[in-house]
Amino acid sequence: MMIVPGTRGSLAAAFVGALAIFATSVAMFVLRTNRHAVEPDDASLGAAARILTRDVQKGDGIGFHPEWSASQKWRFAEAYRKNALFYDEALLVGDPTDLWDADGFKRLWVVSTHNRAASLKLPARRLRAEDLDHGTELLLFDLGTSRTAYDLRKHVADAFVERKQPDGTFRRCIWNGESKHICGGDWWLDVFDAVHEVGNSRHNGLMIQPGGRDALARITWPRAPAARVLAGRVGLRLWAVRNDIGSDVKIRALLGNREVWSLVLHKGDFVWHPFEVRLKPEDFGQAVTFELAAQDGNWRQTVLDARLLDATDAPAPPPHDAAVPPGAAPAPVVAQPPPATAAPESAAPSKKNKRGKRR
């Protein structure tokens, strides 16, 4: 910088400029140093994989925190494979990692990177915490005994789904034999399990959209076992709250014909709503039903993840039309689904349009 002799302003400007350049250089150095310090590297991730390979057991799950981390997940798939365990079955895909998603595992490994281990708040007993440098830690939690008697989401194939028709009658959707109940034409009317974004988090759940005008969708598990508690969480998908089309959604849970819980979801509500309902003895062994209704069900893509907890000990009598072999445990009384009406012809669901739509 050229300074004109005798001008104090030029000298001050030169000093400020030089100071700014120095400060910028220092900031870039600190940023690069800190970034290098917290990003996982081959050595830290390799060390985590070696520990897992040595100590993983049957029934162990694995999660990543933060889930988006470039954590070379292939290393951990290999650790499971070397122990003849199935990584895909053990992997938690939810974000953030929580105990609801981890239910059913005996222990949970978490590969935490970017110095995020301290932000992982799991109400479970921590068995190990291995600091592997570069912001990487390998954590192990004891998950205890599962309370789940029946996971409704994982038994979606055992459910039947009905939708209210314009004439007021109900029509059954068709289970495709693999992953979803197809309800005719538009994919967003189908009922299926997937990872959905609700409340700034991503977790598995059943997507159930009520439908069009004066809409009502109903999903029933007729052969659910007896249990003491119905629990879960429900919320609207991100795509739902981004659109002002449609109305609020009323959700009801029924055991047999008795309503045990209800909630009205405002169409702009973007949070998970957990629920836990203690059941009565007369509910034991009854069919479990969730109804979703809306005056205008367009774009009201609702996510449901529910379970029956704490199985009862009292055996139920067998169904009238089923013989019980000597010495066998009696089967629970089950509600029989209504006769299936002719299902609508269904076109292959579109994979391009990921939004709900006015019918």
HEC readout, 132-148: CCCCCEEEEEECCCCCE
More confident position, 171 or 335: 171
Same domain, 119 and 259: no
Same domain, 278 and 202: yes
Same domain, 291 and 178: yes
Please report where in the chains the tokens 């689904």 appear, as a residue. Answer: 337
**Portion of the chain with pLDDT greater than 70, in percent:** 77
pLDDT > 90? residue 36: no
Same domain, 161 and 307: yes
Please report where in the chains the tokens 């007729």 appear, as a residue. Answer: 222
What average pLDDT is seen over the chain?
A: 82
Same domain, 58 and 154: no
Same domain, 169 and 83: no
- The phi-psi region of residue 6 (left if phi > 0; otherwise alpha if psi is between -120 and 50; otherwise beta) is left
Instruction: Flag whether 326 is in a domain.
Output: no
More confident position, 185 or 119: 119
Instruction: Flag whether 359 is in a domain.
Output: no
Q: What is the CB-side half-sphere exposure of residue 237 using CA atoms within 13 A?
A: 23
More confident position, 228 or 21: 228
Same domain, 178 and 302: yes
Instruction: Flag whether 49 is in a domain.
Output: yes
Same domain, 216 and 88: no
Mark which of 112, 142, 172 sits at the end of a domain: 142
Nearest by Cα to 139 from 64, 58, 40, 80: 64
The lowest-confidence range among 19-33, 243-257, 268-282 is 19-33
Instruction: Flag whether 261 is in a domain.
Output: yes
d(CA 168, CA 216) in angstroms, rounded, equals 10
Neighbours of 9 (CB within 10 A): 8
The lowest-confidence range among 204-208, 306-310, 329-333 is 329-333
C-alpha of 252 from chain center: 20
Residue type, 229: V
The lowest-confidence range among 12-16, 158-162, 218-222 is 12-16
pLDDT > 70? residue 2: no
pLDDT > 60? residue 18: no
* pLDDT band for position 38 (cuts 50, 70, 90): confident
Per-residue pLDDT at 19: 57
Per-residue pLDDT at 311: 86
Per-residue pLDDT at 356: 42
pLDDT > 50? residue 358: no
Same domain, 304 and 156: yes
Mark which of 142, 173, 207 sits at the end of a domain: 142
Instruction: Flag whether 60 is in a domain.
Output: yes
Mark which of 111, 142, 173 sits at the end of a domain: 142
Instruction: Flag whether 27 is in a domain.
Output: no
More confident position, 329 or 305: 305
Per-residue pLDDT at 252: 98
Per-residue pLDDT at 321: 36
Q: Can you give the CATH number for the domain in which 278 is found?
A: 2.60.120.680
Instruction: Flag whether 154 is in a domain.
Output: yes
Give the total number of structural domains in the chain: 2
Rounded to whole angstroms, the maximal C-alpha distance in the chain is 111
Secondary structure, 3-state, the chain: CCCCCCCHHHHHHHHHHHHHHHHHHHHHHHHHHHHHHHCCCHHHHHHHHHHHHHHCCCCEEEEEECCCCCCCCHHHHHHHHHCCCCHHHHECCCECCCHHHHCCCCEEEEEECCCCHHHCCCCCEEEEEEECCCCCEEEEEECCCCCEEEECHHHHHHCEEEEECCCCCEEECEECCCCEEECCCCHHHCEEEEEEEECCEEEEEEEECCCCEEEEEEEEECCCCCEEEEEEEEEECHHHHCCCCCCCEEEEEEECCEEEEEEEECCCCCCCEEEEEECCHHHCCCCEEEEEEEEECCCCCEEEEEEEEEECCCCCCCCCCCCCCCCCCCCCCCCCCCCCCCCCCCCCCCCCCCCCCCC
Identify the domain containing residue 111 by its residue range: 42-142
pLDDT > 80? residue 322: no
Query: In this predicted model, what pLDDT tens digit does every residue of 197-224 receive, in sequence order?
Result: 999 999 999 999 998 889 999 999 999 9
The lowest-confidence range among 137-146, 168-177, 307-316 is 307-316
**Portion of the chain with pLDDT greater than 90, in percent:** 67
At residue 354, φ and ψ (nearest 5 deg) are -95, 20
Query: In this predicted model, what pLDDT tens digit does every residue of 47-60 receive, in sequence order?
Result: 999 999 999 999 99
Same domain, 165 and 298: yes
More confident position, 124 or 321: 124
Instruction: Flag whether 283 is in a domain.
Output: yes
Same domain, 61 and 189: no
d(CA 259, CA 263) in angstroms, rounded, equals 11
Same domain, 296 and 165: yes
Query: In this predicted model, what pLDDT tens digit does every residue of 57-75 receive, in sequence order?
Result: 999 999 999 988 878 999 9
Neighbours of 347 (CB within 10 A): 11
